[in-house]
Amino acid sequence: MKKYNERFQLSDYTLVAFDLDGTLTTTDFRSSWQAVHEFFGTWEIHGKPILHRFLKGEISYYEFCKADAEAWIGRTEDEYQKAIASIELREGITELVSFLRSKGCILIILSMGLQDIVKKIAVQLEFDYWVGNELVRYNNRISGEVKINIGWEEKGKVLRNFLKQFKMLPENSIAIGDSTADIDMFKVAGLSITIEPSSERVAEASDIVCQTKNMKEIISFF
């Protein structure tokens, strides 16, 4: 569904910022943290209660992420890599990325998800830059520590920093996401697109709503 009838000129937009979880990946899990919980069998007893505490404002975003990581203390690097390997990409993402790259766009991933899966996908798809949150390991085992590179409602700030770095105006950027966490960057970008939005609030916050599982459909808006 488009909110507007006109097609958008891609030449007006030179930086494209993607969310990762639920946007580049399938909506089976809209959080890579949850995907790891599900793989390790810790979602119901640990992950979900911690999420509810965060949403109620009882703990900070850092405390939320650290509590998630503490559920996996001692897990080996091999176990962790198998967990993130269970996360699948959406159909059509290769075609969309190739199209945008052919137009000379700078492509970045801004994710509050786990940086290991962010980096893996960014390298695989040849993105220019990426930012995610780090799960710290010592001696090839999960330590329970985290490093937050994008906090709650900080995607807009990070996007502005990239625009400043490339001496671009906000109107020359596109943000593509699916959830509440992406609204902050939607407010900054010149054009915002949601794919299978997680709520009506997310849909209303964007310029274009794309109700499809295949990211290739986004090409038709340009």
Q: How many domains does the chain divide into?
A: 1
pLDDT given at position 55: 92
Task: Give a yes or no: residue 53 inside a domain.
Answer: no
Task: Give a yes or no: residue 79 inside a domain.
Answer: no
Task: Give a yes or no: residue 52 inside a domain.
Answer: no
pLDDT given at position 145: 97
d(C-alpha 103, C-alpha 221), whole Å:
14
pLDDT given at position 4: 46
Task: Give a yes or no: residue 84 inside a domain.
Answer: no
Domain around 159 = 10-27+89-221
Task: Give a yes or no: residue 78 inside a domain.
Answer: no
The DSSP line for 49-84 is: HHHHHHHTTSS-HHHHHHHHHHTTTT-BHHHHHHHH
Task: Give a yes or no: residue 153 inside a domain.
Answer: yes
Nearest in space to 222 (alpha carbons), one of 91, 110, 104, 126: 104
CATH of the domain at 141: 3.40.50.1000
Task: Give a yes or no: residue 63 inside a domain.
Answer: no
d(C-alpha 155, C-alpha 177), whole Å:
11
- Helix 32-40 vs helix 77-85: crossing angle, to nearest 10: 120
pLDDT tens digit at each of 222 positions of the chain: 344 445 667 776 789 999 999 999 987 878 999 999 999 999 999 999 999 999 999 999 999 999 999 999 999 999 999 999 989 999 999 999 999 999 999 999 999 999 999 999 999 999 999 999 999 999 999 999 999 999 999 999 999 999 999 999 999 999 999 999 999 999 999 999 999 998 999 999 999 999 888 999 999 888
Task: Give a yes or no: residue 109 inside a domain.
Answer: yes
Residues ≥6 apart with Cβ < 8 Å to 10: 100, 103, 105, 222
